[in-house]
Structure 1
Amino acid sequence: MSSKFNNAGESPGFMLWQVTNIWQRAMRKALEPFELTHPQFVLLFSCKWLNEQNVQSGISQVQLAQHVKMDINVTSQVLRTLEKKGYIERRPHPKDSRANIISVTMTGDELASRAVQAVEAEDRAFFSGLGDEVGHLNKLLQQLSHL
């Protein structure tokens, strides 16, 4: 055998892959009533949250992509879909002609506020088996994401 692991359960990458797939299925199910994909939800809610936290001139597409750690081209494609659905608006950045400011529409704000309840409920259910270890998991995930 060419693997250093005696079984798949010893490989952290493979275990992460399996858990990610199970969790993503749960997220798809939670978001189905809102007709949002998980990337759409993450960008929509993150835009809402970042704009609420930001007292400056708004959130740029690049800032949003950096926040969610998503490729800028994928971010652009997903934002285009959200814009077509009427959930976000893009307008020229007042200080940078190459950038856009992203804002959430009233419809998008209402949808994001309802969808986050379903997502967080599903997260609580999914991670409930870890009990008090959820905080430890978050610390480990933050290490891996280089925060």
Structure 2
Amino acid sequence: MSSKFSNAEESPGFMLWQVTNVWQKAMRKALDPYELTHPQFVLLFSCKWLNEKNDHTGITQIQLAQHAQMDVNVTSQVLRTLEKKGYIERRSHPTDSRANVITVTKTGDEIASQAVQAVEEEDRAFFSDLGNEIGHLNRILKQLAHR
């Protein structure tokens, strides 16, 4: 046998992959009415959230990518799509000629606010079987995410 695991359920990586696929399917279902992909939602809502935390002064693409832990090039592609949809605006950074300031439009704010409700509802349903163990799962996921 080429694996140290006697069955697939013993492999944490394989189980994470399976859970991720099932969860992503649930997210697609929740986001379909808003015509958003999950990466689009993550960046749109993160942009809204970060701008609110920064008194609506705008954030840079790098700040957004770091917050979402997403590749900068992928972030740029997704932001281009969100801009075409009229959900975000990009303008030149006042002090850094290499950067853009990203803000959420009124339409983008409304879509993000509606979509987050659907996503959080789907999350609650998806993780409901964990009961009080959800906090433990979050601590483990946070530990893995911040490597």
Separation in 2, partners of 1:82, 1:132: 37
Letter of the structure 1 residue corresponding to residue 6 of structure 2: N
Match of 1:119 in 2: 119
CA offset digits 1:45-79 (Å, max 9, x no partner): 00000000014842100000000000000000000
Long gaps (5+) in structure 2:
none
Distance of 1:111 and 1:56 partners within structure 2: 17
State whether structure 2 residue 101 is matched by structure 1 residue 86: no
DSSP 3-state at the match of 1:6: coil
Provide the residue aligned with 1:144 in structure 2.
144
Q: Is 1:64 the equivalent of 2:64?
A: yes
Which structure 2 residues correspond to residues 14-25 of structure 1 after superposition, within 5 A? 14-25=14-25
Identity %: 79
Alpha-carbon separation, structure 1, partners of 2:97 and 2:56: 17
8 Å contact from structure 2 (residues 56, 103) kept in 1: no
What is the CA–CA distance in structure 2 between the aligned matches of 1:6 and 1:113, rounded to whole Å? 45
Please report how far the alpha carbon of residue 146 of structure 1 lies from its aligned counterpart in structure 2 after TM superposition: 1.3
What SS does structure 1 have at the residue aligned with 2:146? coil
CA shift for structure 1 position 39: 0.3
| CA RMSD between the two structures | 1.0
Amino acid in the other structure paired with 1:125: A
Give the corresponding residue for 2:53.
Answer: 53
Q: Structure 1 regions of 5+ residues with no counterpart?
A: none
How many angstroms does 1:95 deviate by? 1.0
Q: Secondary structure at the match of 1:115?
A: helix
**Taking structure 1 as the reference length, what is the TM-score of the superposition?**
0.98
Could you give the per-residue CA deviations for residues 68-122 of structure 1, whole angstroms, max 9, x where no partner exists? 0000000000000000000000000111000000000000000000000000000
Letter paired with 1:25: K
SS of equivalent residue, structure 2 residue 83 = helix
* Alignment size in residue pairs: 147
What CA distance in whole angstroms lies between the structure 2 residues aligned with 1:59 and 1:15? 36
